[in-house]
Structure 1
Amino acid sequence: MKINIATPAGLIIACTTVLHAQEVYIDSLDGNGQLTVSIPSNSHYSVEWTSSLTRTPQWHRNWAELINIPGTNMTVEIPMFYRVYCYTNGLIINPTLNQTYTYNLTNAYGEFWKDEITLQGLIYLPSLTNTYTLYTGILSWTNDQPAGSGEPQAVGFIRITGQEMYMADPFNQVEFPWWKSVEPGTTWTNSSYEITTMEGYEDISVPAGEFTGCYRFHRRRIGTTGSDTGIRQWVKPGFMHVKEVGYSDYVNPPDAAPIVKELQSWQKR
């Protein structure tokens, strides 16, 4: 797939080899500020910038860090080099901006509702010095609010770095590793009170279809024992979270557990 990309005049274009040997080829420099590149099919690409080409340069994906900066007589980092960064796989999840993922939920009482998670855009959080994907979650139901459904609206911030997904808490200025592409049996702390274990791989059938080789994660409070505790989540690598089961110690009221959440569909807004 060939794409024409415009670039600022007078700047050098850097090309990168991406995850799992997915390469971006520069076919031609078409003119001042524009080049043609070949990108693997069914992939996403980003144009990134850095201020200098060191052994390990820091590449940026947006301009948020350069806007409305207070200060006097400063040394300012500015874009000098650009690259086209592309991936087709290798990410633990690969959510698409402006896309909505719809989930069906049910509790032990047989009540049903939906959760629509939408990837709204990118946001730079100065307190964490990183750029995150902003998502919203909106619950909906037909009659009375189902038991255990929780708050009807939610907002969150995630950051994906290939093999890991981080969840940000800008109020406390911290981020936690939420999901990891690791060997089965690996356990890590994902907050001050929770741990997560990658339990293994499993094929999952949900209303949206069949998903093979899903990671099965078990998130629970530190010190908790037993299989039916916390939350169990299934994630299709390179795609998205496809299923979740919440147990009684994570559900209010506990009698509404288990709460089962399954992917129904996904589409552009």
Structure 2
Amino acid sequence: MKIATYNINGTKARLPRLKEWLSETRPAVACLQETKCQDHDFPAQEFAELGYQAIWHGQKSFNGVAILVDSKAGYSVQEVRRGLGIDGPKDGEGEQARYLEADITKDDRAVRIVCIYLPNGNPHPGPKFDYKIAWMGKLRSRLSAIWAEEVPAAVLGDYNVIPEDDDVYAVKAMADDALMQPESRSAYARLIADGWTDALRTHNPRGGVWTYWDYQAGAWQRDHGFRIDHILLSPELADRLQAVGVDRDHRGREKASDHAPTWAVLRA
């Protein structure tokens, strides 16, 4: 079973690249972030034509998450929860579209999949950073509840956290960014301490693997990237981890997202 996460940076702008990636790599489950479209504009039919069933949680112009499952391969999806019950940093803004949770089933075997787009938190300090840390606290509480259900689970998405110094091309360049602040890293570390396994780190203990390259200053061409897209696995799924990687070449294609897809393969 191949599961993947992909911040596509706009469904409308990246749909050809997204469909290309789905056709070429055929993940059983694909978690998308920054779909940047309202629910009624989500291109579900485009994915259905490729053999993917979709659920989604949208928002006008910003954020947005979705989960696609390969129905041709016999997978089905049942939504469990959307949202963590935390309003955005602006008064009266309401909850942002950042969290989607579902059960993925095949042959009567289910896996809980959580798709997240964690707040960026910049500028730091400020209300956006406070919101980021509060959101991470809400996430930890929800993951504790999933843990208590004793279901095999994976939490995939753009965490907007650079966990370690070797997860960035240059520590100094990102030192003041919300992605690398001690509070951000500590909140991520608490998830790991709770028992979740960082799949990409497990197979790349020395770091140096990037999932994001900015559009500015020739970051892609100079390989000035960092790792913020993560797959966390519950113990049962961690025991089934066979392979993990980043589809780096998709970042270099024309009109690509600034993120590359990140994936893990789990034994049946």
Q: What TM-score results when the alignment is normalised by the length of structure 2?
A: 0.23
Greater per-residue helix proportion? 2
Greater per-residue strand proportion? 1
Higher Rg of the two aligned structures: 1
Larger RCO (alpha carbons 8 Å, 6+ apart): 2
Q: What TM-score results when the alignment is normalised by the length of structure 1?
A: 0.23
